[in-house]
Structure 1
Amino acid sequence: MKAFNTFDAELRRNLLILFTAGLLFWSSMSSLLPTLPLYIDDVGASKQEIGIVMGSFAIGLLLSRPMLGRLADERGRKIVLLIGTIVAAIAPFGYMATKSIGLLILVRIFHGISVAAFTTGYSALVADLAPSETRGEIIGYMTLATPLGLAIGPALGGYLEATSTYGILFLFCAELGFVALLEIVQVINPPVQTQQQTEGNDVYDGLRLPNFWQILGSPRVKVPTIVMLLVGLSIGAVHTFVSLFLKSTDVDFNGGLFFTASAISSFSIRVFAGKASDRFGRGLFITFGIFCYVLALILLWQAHSVMFFLLAAIAEGAGGGTLISMMVTMMADRSMPQERGQVFAICIAGLDMGIAIAAPILGIIAERVGYRDMFGYGAAITSIALVLFLTQSSKNLSNSLRFALGLAPDDYALKNLKLRSEEL
């Protein structure tokens, strides 16, 4: 936490408000992780329909992310944070108002906008504020709001679902979103950095890619986006089906406890991973994160006891605690402030797409082979992401392998490109 002591009072206040809002937001979101599939099951949906409803959340993310990323770059990060918290406060009333599968899909799509907006604004703003030399440490600490929220939310959501009604649960989610909104209102929006402010920097000028498809096609963005898409399949499988898988077994382990254990694991590893990445590079921790997701799915595939489910939760949390925060940090290293919202939006949209594909497709697989073997298929798919990052994360195979194992710097990081241009 030494880096925070070097900041002025206004910056520390901004970061504290952001962290609090993030904690409330993710508590609201995650309280539905173990409970919403059960609610959809109670209204009479099939396994495939449960997957479609849960997966439609990512449709809202995918449709809105490009626009929200550009909005964050052009109008500032605060406006997209406000959009995210407003939607988080409204959407739970939609679940409470209907039991129609079609309408639940629409509400879920609308709810997806909240995560698209909040994560894009939050990541871009924190990356803007963090000095490059301590970027990994600051982002690591600030993203602790996510696992803390993911620890609190499922436990409270599972408790409310078991002891009261779904109506009370949805009201609780809406209230958390509203309080997060009140926090974001207090954020002091920093000035938007424009392209003109970086005129004269030849390295940055050569990398300026304002067009969506140009950014997506750039090697510095394309491979991380595909990796996130493949990992999104495993995340979607776990978040959508693990509670139902537990319900179908004789194992006495609550779905809410699974997500709480996962969040504790995520929190624990983020405490040191971010700072360590400033020293050892982002690649090593991204590789570790993908491997943890593969391991989690293998453990779920073979799970027949509480211990297996607990180990799977720990591995899943370790994967999320390293991969997502380190991927955000790596993309911050690879982008300029005036394009950062779009770069983040595109890369994380890969994750959204994976989650969107996971729920309906793996739901069909689960109908045919069962939940257990479905997780085995997920492990195989996520292994492809690991191979891809090991071989394609840098400019050639040798550099990619070295970067992915923490033995070489990131060839696409702007500071490294600048140093090489000065040497030339």
Structure 2
Amino acid sequence: MERLWTKPFILTTLGTLFLYTGFYALYPTLPLFIKHIGGNEAQVGLSMGVFMLSSVIFRPMVGGLMERFGRRPFIALGLILFILTMYLYNWIGGIVALMGLRVLHGMSWAVSTTANSTAVADMVPSSRRGEGMGWFGISMTLAMAIGPIFGLWVIQNQSYHALFLFGVGLSVVALLLMLGAKMPFQPQSDTRKIELFEKSVLWVAASNFFLFIAYGSITTFVPLFTNSIKVNSGAFFLVYAATLALSRPIAGKLSDRYGETLVIVPALAITMLALIVLSFSTGLFSLLASAVLYGIGFGSAQPSLQAVTIHLARPDRIGVANASLSTATDLGIGLGAIMLGWVSQYTSYKVLFLVSAVSVAFSLALFTFFVKRLLKGKGLRPLNSGSLPSETS
């Protein structure tokens, strides 16, 4: 059996844990910070939106350039820029400056995470890819559980200034760990055209886009919503992350045995139900019930869509296909956060989460009418979807 737990794999996976912990610490705290400096719900949504739209611009370019110049230069450049932007949050005192910094932060996130996830895929032996990517994905899931609670604890017991300094420290550790890892790479010929999008995964990306519009509502507005009903948002994110971690292996085994379609269709339906329950939540019990449902639904659907992406793409196009899916992810979160920010500003959180449920319904429709046919036409054995990682999971 080929060796999985090599030094480069361990260092890169640990680096990912530190990087994503710092990133997820901002999820429940940045909306509160924006309110602290005088912003409103629409500006909270715009802040998340410009971050993700910046990622959309740069991620496809990174996906293509990596195939020519390697992973390490983009990991280094992206993380150095990420550290700089984390530090600059300490000097933000107004909304306009914040929006400019969010553009820079989004660019650094796109560069570093696209290169990082591709480097890990290179390190994992093909015979153990499902297992290896599963362990790599767990580092992100742990960060999703630790980060929000850690961020809330820091601002409640320290300050926003301390939060951003902790983010700098975690990112520096991530940089040192990842630069200590050897990264295998076979460059493409310079004569090959750099591709920015993989057409074979268009409908998967479209389905993913609508799924992540709803995800944007969770990450951006749950902290503000829980404040309005006097509940700690950390409880939601902890239960959600724990349920997601438990559901992914089960979903992966079901996908292996019965195919991605049997997993994705009910998972998207459960995600819709979670958002409906959330829209009617008035206290801790209903909030946690929605977190469990969302962890099961989103935790099963999202990695399965990523598996379908690899399933449909040619082997020499997987890097570009992954970048295409990640672009759809960022675009969904970005545009969704901006749109839903206006919805919450002029209606209510209840309407916001119901609109998010409708977006997931569109995701389900696109998958059912287009992606299922593509999978049937391929007639290939499904991959282990439960063990594939994601950038915003």
Greater displacement, 291-300 / 376-385? 291-300
Mapped pair 1:109 → 2:106? no
Greater displacement, 138-147 / 349-358? 138-147
Aligned counterpart in structure 2 of residue 171 of structure 1, from 142, 147, 165: 165
**Cα deviation per residue 1:110-134 (whole Å; 9 max; x = unaligned)?**
1112332233223323333445555
Aligned counterpart in structure 1 of residue 24 of structure 2, from 17, 22, 30: 30
**TM-score under structure 1 normalisation?**
0.83
Q: Tell me which residue corresponds to 1:182.
A: 176
Q: Tell me which residue corresponds to 1:360.
A: 338
Mapped pair 1:332 → 2:310? yes
Aligned counterpart in structure 2 of residue 238 of structure 1, from 218, 225, 228: 218
Alignment of 1:2-401 (within 5 A): 6-8=1-3, 12-132=6-126, 134-192=128-186, 194=188, 211-212=195-196, 215=198, 218=199, 220-249=200-229, 252-274=230-252, 276-336=254-314, 338-395=316-373, 399=376
Q: In 1, are the aligned partners of 2:204 and 2:308 still within 8 Å (CA)?
A: no
Distance 1:314-1:285 versus aligned 2 partners, 3 A rule:
same
Q: Tell me which residue corresponds to 2:387.
A: none
Distance 1:176-1:259 versus aligned 2 partners, 3 A rule:
same
Q: In 1, are the aligned partners of 2:122 and 2:183 still within 8 Å (CA)?
A: no
Residue 357 of structure 2 aligns to which amino acid in structure 1?
Answer: A
What CA distance in whole angstroms lies between the structure 2 residues aligned with 1:190 and 1:57? Answer: 30
Q: In 2, are the aligned partners of 1:193 and 1:338 still within 8 Å (CA)?
A: no
Distance 1:137-1:275 versus aligned 2 partners, 3 A rule:
farther
Structure 2 gap segments, 5+ residues each: 384-393
Q: Secondary structure at the match of 1:304?
A: coil
Q: What is the Cα deviation at residue 337 of structure 1?
A: 5.2
Distance 1:119-1:142 versus aligned 2 partners, 3 A rule:
same
Q: In 1, are the aligned partners of 2:69 and 2:187 still within 8 Å (CA)?
A: no
**TM-score under structure 2 normalisation?**
0.89
Q: Which has the higher contact order (CA 8 A, sep 6+)?
A: 2
Q: What is the Cα deviation at residue 138 of structure 1?
A: 2.8
Distance 1:292-1:91 versus aligned 2 partners, 3 A rule:
farther
**Cα deviation per residue 1:87-115 (whole Å; 9 max; x = unaligned)?**
33222222111111111011111111233
Q: Secondary structure at the match of 1:7?
A: coil
What CA distance in whole angstroms lies between the structure 2 residues aligned with 1:275 and 1:411? Answer: 11
Identity of aligned residues (%): 28
Distance 1:326-1:119 versus aligned 2 partners, 3 A rule:
farther
Structure 1 gap segments, 5+ residues each: 1-5, 197-207, 413-424
What CA distance in whole angstroms lies between the structure 2 residues aligned with 1:283 and 1:21? Answer: 33
Q: Tell me which residue corresponds to 2:389.
A: none
Distance 1:326-1:73 versus aligned 2 partners, 3 A rule:
farther
Distance 1:353-1:77 versus aligned 2 partners, 3 A rule:
same
Q: What is the Cα deviation at residue 256 of structure 1?
A: 2.0
What CA distance in whole angstroms lies between the structure 1 residues aligned with 2:6 and 2:265? Answer: 32
**Cα deviation per residue 1:70-99 (whole Å; 9 max; x = unaligned)?**
122112223332233223322222211111
Distance 1:291-1:353 versus aligned 2 partners, 3 A rule:
same
Q: In 1, are the aligned partners of 2:78 and 2:108 still within 8 Å (CA)?
A: yes
Distance 1:118-1:291 versus aligned 2 partners, 3 A rule:
farther
Distance 1:39-1:108 versus aligned 2 partners, 3 A rule:
same
Q: In 2, are the aligned partners of 1:210 and 1:339 still within 8 Å (CA)?
A: no
Distance 1:278-1:186 versus aligned 2 partners, 3 A rule:
farther
Residue 19 of structure 1 aligns to which amino acid in structure 2?
Answer: T
What CA distance in whole angstroms lies between the structure 2 residues aligned with 1:335 and 1:145? Answer: 26
Q: What is the Cα deviation at residue 185 of structure 1?
A: 0.3
Q: In 1, are the aligned partners of 2:48 and 2:337 still within 8 Å (CA)?
A: yes
What CA distance in whole angstroms lies between the structure 1 residues aligned with 2:172 and 2:298? Answer: 26
Aligned length: 383
Q: In 1, are the aligned partners of 2:273 and 2:357 still within 8 Å (CA)?
A: yes
What CA distance in whole angstroms lies between the structure 1 residues aligned with 2:315 and 2:171? Answer: 28
Residue 399 of structure 1 aligns to which amino acid in structure 2?
Answer: K
Flag the structure with larger Rg: 1
Q: What is the Cα deviation at residue 321 of structure 1?
A: 2.8
Distance 1:323-1:17 versus aligned 2 partners, 3 A rule:
farther
